[in-house]
């Protein structure tokens, strides 16, 4: 049976609210949770970008059973992979074995803040591969030294190594990332319900491993209000990964989405309160072979009504899938 998750989207709520939301998600019966890891929001109307790892630490202690995960952390520029390994091990200990580390090649939006040149896509994937190898070596225990093409590690060791090894997920969008995920990851992550991505993941060693997708939704009793909010805060999502990974700040995303219409967003994002419309959108992932689907409710001030509705109507309907 598929698992259904809740997204703590750091771009649209402050740290205390995010923790309150995931506590409520646990109470509503969501199977797991994921957390974005941003330095900037996509658009200024979202209005937030707290440090995800502090939020996760608080969430680990405020909840008791819901699994936690980064969706996703870029371990190449803003964070060194040795530091990511330390953070993940600490979270696994704090959460008593409920944490999974989701990794990806990142976006210029968040990584440019450290003043490094944004690499080409092929270089970013090479960096991701090397970073995953370093993190996995540190999870193995012992002292790690490394001098590679992109990273150096000098006698690093995780002194608080959790009993349960942290599972590593890798986000994919094409053949090269699927090869990295299939060979090195414990699960695969994708934001589009593309069966071909999962097939490539399997070819490179991913057979039998979990596969996680993510779907933005905008619940509201007033469908017009939901469409307006989705357009205001989430129209960036229709731009495509090649564009979204390159733009440097919210102003650039605003300019790039000038001609995106509310109806364009509504075609991609279920809006309103029609349970079947939401279920159909999730079904596109489960039919493609995804085992886990995380939902993103759009609008930081609209989480609690969504969670109450999800507990009463949406989750029971999704269980029937």
Which residues are known to be catalytic? 38, 107
Residue 158, SS3 per DSSP: coil
Q: Long-range contacts: 51-58, Cβ < 8 Å, 24+?
A: 51/15, 52/10, 53/87, 53/91, 54/15, 55/8, 55/10, 55/15, 55/18, 55/19, 56/91, 56/99, 57/90, 57/91, 57/94, 58/15, 58/19
Alpha-carbon distances, residue 256 vs 43, 67, 143 (angstroms): 11, 35, 46
Cβ atoms of 130 and 79 within 8 Å: the answer is no
* CA–CA gap between residue 121 and residue 242 (Å, rounded): 9
Q: Where are the alpha helices (DSSP H) in the chain?
A: 15-28, 52-62, 81-94, 108-111, 121-139, 175-184, 195-201, 223-234, 241-244, 250-256, 262-268, 275-288, 303-309, 315-319
φ, ψ of residue 7 in degrees (nearest 5): -105, 120
């Amino acid at each position: 049976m598929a698992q259904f998750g809740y997204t703590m989207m750091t771009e649209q709520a402050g740290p205390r609210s995010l923790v309150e939301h995931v506590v409520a998600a646990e109470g509503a019966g969501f199977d797991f949770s994921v957390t974005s890891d941003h330095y900037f929001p996509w658009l200024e109307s979202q209005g937030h970008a707290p440090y995800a790892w502090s939020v996760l630490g608080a969430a680990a202690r405020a909840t008791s059973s819901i699994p936690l995960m980064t969706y996703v952390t870029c371990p190449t520029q803003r964070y060194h992979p040795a530091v990511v390994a330390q953070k993940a091990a600490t979270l696994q200990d704090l959460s008593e074995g409920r944490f999974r580390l989701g990794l990806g090649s990142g976006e210029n939006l968040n990584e440019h803040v450290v003043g490094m040149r944004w690499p080409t896509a092929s270089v970013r994937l090479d960096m991701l591969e090397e970073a995953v190898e370093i993190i996995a070596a540190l999870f193995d225990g012992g002292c790690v030294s490394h001098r590679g093409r992109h990273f150096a590690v000098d006698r690093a060791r995780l002194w608080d190594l959790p009993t349960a090894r942290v599972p590593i997920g890798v986000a994919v969008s094409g053949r090269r990332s699927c090869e990295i995920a299939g060979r090195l990851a414990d699960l695969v992550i994708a934001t589009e319900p593309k069966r071909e991505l999962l097939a490539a993941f399997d070819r490179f060693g991913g057979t039998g491993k979990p596969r996680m997708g993510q779907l933005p939704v905008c619940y509201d009793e007033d469908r017009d209000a939901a469409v307006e909010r989705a357009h205001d805060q989430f129209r960036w999502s229709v731009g495509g990964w090649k564009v979204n990974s390159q733009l440097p700040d919210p102003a650039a995303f605003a300019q790039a989405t000038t001609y995106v219409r509310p109806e364009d967003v509504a075609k991609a994002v279920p809006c309103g309160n029609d349970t079947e419309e939401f279920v159909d959108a999730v079904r596109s992932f489960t039919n493609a072979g995804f085992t886990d689907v995380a939902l993103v409710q759009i609008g930081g001030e609209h989480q609690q009504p969504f969670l109450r509705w999800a507990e009463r109507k949406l989750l029971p309907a999704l269980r029937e899938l």
